[in-house]
Amino acid sequence: AEGVPHSIRRSISLPRGTIPSNIFLHGCLSANVFQQIQRIQNMNLRRLYEGRKKELESKNGSVGAAEKILYHGTSAESCSSIMQSNFNRRFAGQNGNSTCYGHGTYFAVNASYSAQNKYAVPAADGTQLMFVARVLTGYHTQGQADMKTPPVRVAPDLYDSVVDNLQNPSMFVVFHDCKAYPDYLITFK
């Protein structure tokens, strides 16, 4: 783009057959609800994410970055901002959404959770938006409502993320914007 020589910020619509089906099947949404699937390409955000990933792999030893494919429902108003500037934890709790595991950015293990109307806010035509994101979860611990950052794991290192349930997490919360990358945007109804 003109004036932005070192980045590409765009999305590409993809035919349904070209998407890795395991990304969406694991997410518990049936294929017939998809209106459009777009692959997000933002080189600046991807570079920041990959840098953070290498840092966690080095710091965390065998646990590494623990990259996961997770889901994040959003509104049409927030969508462009996420594609341009990434997820922003400063918006935690807005629109009446809970911050019961901390004031970070929330990602669900199952797409059906993020597809709820309170997260993937329906537009006037009834369409909803949800990101399929790469998220660096690293070492995680139990989240709490008052957390602004994850707690200390081994001083001076903090946990990399927090969860809703240590034994069987269905929700991961990250407190550093570069620990997530919006890979795909799903428009569904």
50: left (phi over 0), alpha (psi -120 to 50) or beta: alpha
**Is pLDDT at 6 greater than 90 in this prediction?**
no
- The pLDDT of 178-184, averaged and rounded, is 94
**Is pLDDT at 93 greater than 70 in this prediction?**
no
Q: What is the DSSP letter of 30?
A: -
Q: Which of 166, 168, 160, 171 is nearest to 110 (CA)?
A: 171
- The pLDDT of 23-46, averaged and rounded, is 73
Domains of the chain in start order, with CATH, are: 9-188 (3.90.228.10)
pLDDT band at 25 (very low <50, low <70, confident <90, very high): very low
Average pLDDT, the chain: 84
